[in-house]
Chain A
Amino acid sequence: MRGYNKLIFELSKEGRNAFSLPENDVGRTPLEDMLPAHLLTKEEVELPEVSEVDVVRHYTLLSKKNYGLDTGFYPLGSCTMKYNPKINEDMSSLDCFANLHPYQPEDTVQGALALMYDLDYMLSEISGMSRVSLQPAAGAHGEMVGLMIIKAYHKKRGDNKRTKIIVPDSAHGTNPASAAMVGFDIIEIKSTKDGAVDMEDLKAALSDEVAGLMLTNPSTLGLFEKNIKEIADLVHEAGGLLYYDGANMNAIMGISRPGDMGFDVIHYNLHKTFSTPHGGGGPGAGPVGVKEHLVEFLPVPMIEKSGDRYFLDYDKPYSIGKIKSFYGHFGVMVRAYTYILAMGAEGLKDASRKAVLNANYMMARLKEYYKLPIDEICQHEFVLGGLKDGTDEVTTLDIAKRLIDYGYHPPTIYFPLIVHEAIMVEPTETESRETLDEFIDAMIRIAEEAKENPQVLKEAPHNTPVRRIDEVLAARKPVLKWQND
């Protein structure tokens, strides 16, 4: 089955099936006797007809064309691809968590509610916030919710002029997109060379029209914002609020807390910092934490406790309302909760310390071969700027693709936008020194290849199920579904 290249539709053969259902024990009734004909479809649904073995082989063979964390090292900057513990999967699959209906009476889900209540506390303690809503589905969703809360706060105070959000140019694209989603205008401010907030630019941007500032700390360049307290004071004095993008939280657990830095709102990424799997692009979870003065605006319902009993509280008149069906990605919460139980206070702190250690170690070894725009102690990630004595011929993309030949998932590339030919490396704490060394050796070997035989980089990867793909063709003539022709 090498070189398997079939779509499931191409396996389909009339009469085959993979499903198994009991006979209908209430007896058969002609459909038209139940539903009027004009409501029924005239067409059959085109779904494949395959046997169970076909399905199993198809998806197993597809899975082999994927690179996952369990396959190898995944040093993706800003993505925190840490190991996803197996016990997390086991716990979330337990019948007593996986098979609960969201509208069951509260008395029958006290365990689930207790878990969510505890997770709210744990996340609040880690970030120094007062309360956390677990409802947002992902980081970007959390950003949107956080900004809705900021909007609601100003509105309640009758401060209706505040229509602008300040976002540094080093921010993730989601920051401005989320602000736009909530109807804010964006003021983009410059970053200094080392990725910090340009204080003069910030001061110039602040006014009574500013609702808040969104910040990632450590920044996308992997550096702690030294002026954070001054920034917080400036924004607060101008009447704005401070939003913490939790993408880079893996650097600071048990070491420093956004709440203590002066942030009012934060979103977490359970799929980054708290080890829940990325699932090939989702589901994640993006809980939102706030300080006391914003608790009343959190989405409904909140999980509350009265005596020994947990309940869903919808009675919050200033809440921004519901932002998702039900209570959020409960299955993801179970995994994150399991992880925090496994790590404990000391474990989380050690995770952040080792994540930062790993990043600095890699940076120290790689800077001889690759440009390092900012050469100082970094936090959990660092950004290289292409080959140290490279020519324009070999690009960051070529280096990334060549890493695939060496068996690695490439780092994040061409982000942040403010670094030319950026290669953003985040090793996380779950990688051993040996793994880091092997990766570094591959990077060094690639730097040599770039001089000796650049063509081998230009044509990389060589041994993957498919090689470089024509993205222009895909975008010019979009083929977004299979059609039988």
Chain B
Amino acid sequence: MVTVGGLYYSKDHEWVKVDGKKALIGITDYAQNALGEIVYVELPDMGTEYKAGDVFCVIESVKAAADSFTPVSGKVVEVNEELEDSPQLLNEGPYDNWIVAIEMDDSSELENLMDEQAYKMFCEKEE
């Protein structure tokens, strides 16, 4: 399982990369591996407002569909439209391909998330 330093991680296997007020959100290597070959990513609409813990995206493989939860509250300011035609990017490079960018309402929510080390240990327990 691959992890990357400098990111925040959630218990639902999303990662957050902070860029000022903007949070880029994707799924972890652990998540893409559990899902298998991803065939479709249902992206949110621009401008949608979410509270932390809301479902912002559904990721489908052939035999499964998984909800992704946003770890931070805020408004969708960018979506990665490349995923519409190439959902496999989430398999090929889970940390290179974010799903949405959210303008955070409250950056203190990041404190509820894990760092790389803590996430690694969390995943070991999950196994």
Contact = CB atoms under 8 A, between A and B. Distances in A.
Asked if chains A and B are in direct contact (CB within 8 A), the reply is yes
Nearest to B88: A476
A292 interface: no
A479 to B, nearest CB: 13
Interface string A403-426: 000000000001000000000000
Contacts of A414: 63
Contacts of A475: 39-40, 60, 62
B37 interface: yes
B99 to A, nearest CB: 17
A472 interface: yes
B36 to A, nearest CB: 9
A393 interface: no
B62 to A, nearest CB: 5
A476 B84 CA distance: 10
Interface in B56-112: 60, 62-63, 87-88
Nearest to B86: A476
Contacts of B40: 475-476
A378 to B, nearest CB: 27
A70 interface: no
B76 to A, nearest CB: 24
Interface string B23-67: 000000000000001011000000000000000000010110000
B97 to A, nearest CB: 15
A315 interface: no
Interface string A454-471: 000000000000000001
A475 B62 CA distance: 7
Interface centre among B39, B63, B87 (most CB of A within 10 A): B39
A29 to B, nearest CB: 51
Interface residues of A, number: 5
A416 to B, nearest CB: 15
A255 to B, nearest CB: 36
A469 to B, nearest CB: 11
A230 B40 CA distance: 45
Interface in A470-485: 471-472, 475-476
Contacts of B63: 414
A475 B42 CA distance: 13
A414 B37 CA distance: 18
A216 to B, nearest CB: 22
Nearest to A472: B37
B66 to A, nearest CB: 14
A64 B39 CA distance: 32
Contacts of A472: 37, 39, 62
Nearest to A471: B62
B12 to A, nearest CB: 18
A472 B88 CA distance: 10
Nearest to B36: A472
Contacts of B62: 471-472, 475
Interface centre among B40, B62, B63 (most CB of A within 10 A): B62
A413 to B, nearest CB: 11
A476 B86 CA distance: 8
Nearest to B87: A476
A472 B60 CA distance: 11
Contacts of B39: 472, 475-476
A32 to B, nearest CB: 45
A475 B41 CA distance: 11
Contacts of B87: 476
A13 to B, nearest CB: 37
Contacts of B88: 476
A471 B37 CA distance: 10
Contacts of B60: 475
A476 B60 CA distance: 10
A414 B63 CA distance: 11
A476 B37 CA distance: 10
Nearest to A414: B63
Interface in A387-405: none
Interface string A293-324: 00000000000000000000000000000000
A347 B37 CA distance: 49
Nearest to B37: A472
Contacts of A471: 62
Nearest to B39: A475
A173 to B, nearest CB: 12
A421 to B, nearest CB: 14
A97 B63 CA distance: 42
A363 to B, nearest CB: 27
B86 to A, nearest CB: 9
A280 to B, nearest CB: 21
Nearest to B40: A475
B41 to A, nearest CB: 11
Contacts of A476: 39-40, 87-88
B35 to A, nearest CB: 12
A207 to B, nearest CB: 24
A475 B36 CA distance: 13
13 contacts: A414-B63, A471-B62, A472-B37, A472-B39, A472-B62, A475-B39, A475-B40, A475-B60, A475-B62, A476-B39, A476-B40, A476-B87, A476-B88
Interface of A: 414, 471-472, 475-476
Given A475-B39, A475-B40, A476-B39, 10 more contacts: A414-B63, A471-B62, A472-B37, A472-B39, A472-B62, A475-B60, A475-B62, A476-B40, A476-B87, A476-B88
Interface of B: 37, 39-40, 60, 62-63, 87-88
The 3 A-B pairs at the shortest CB distance, nearest first, are namely A475-B39, A472-B37, A471-B62
